[in-house]
Amino acid sequence: MNPYSIISAKTWRRQAERLQKETQVFYFAFKHSRVRWYAKLVAAGTAAYLLSPVQLIPSFIPLIGFLDDLLVLLVGIKLLRRLIPSDVLTECRQLAEAADIQRKETGSSLAVVGFFAIASLWLIAAITASALIAAYIHR
């Protein structure tokens, strides 16, 4: 594998994690009482455009379809950083960091429980299917 592609993949992963954390910061800011209505409108409008199936340039068009989404996201983030007071953003970043730590702590135990639940359901389904097939053949 090309060493530049590894660096590029790590960089993309880091950028995606940063974007995820920034999204969570803006979610907490959206719920904050000191954020003005027009900043909440920008956040809701940005999220609505990104999640909407109706867009100016459809996402299934290669490259260009995702570039307009990226442009809307970047403009929305820039506007929100200007519209939201810096102390509120700092507080929301701390809340996002605390939520991230809590998710990492509880996420592993939830994954284990989920794994065992899915494995148990699969085992029950396999035994039931085997019993039904055996009953059908035995008839």
Structure-token match 């039904």, residue found: 132
Residues 6+ apart with CB under 8 A from 99: 24
Task: Write the pLDDT tens digit of every residue in 6-52.
Answer: 567 778 788 878 888 888 888 899 999 999 999 999 999 988 888 88
Task: Write the pLDDT tens digit of every residue in 100-131.
Answer: 888 777 766 777 788 889 989 999 998 998 98
Predicted model pTM:
0.61
- Buried/exposed code over 54-75 (b: 16+ C-beta within 10 A; e: otherwise): eeeeeeeeeeeeeebeeebbee
- Measure the CA–CA gap between 34 and 40, rounded to whole angstroms: 11
- Measure the CA–CA gap between 138 and 126, rounded to whole angstroms: 18
For residue 133, count other CB atoms closer than 10 A to its CB.
10
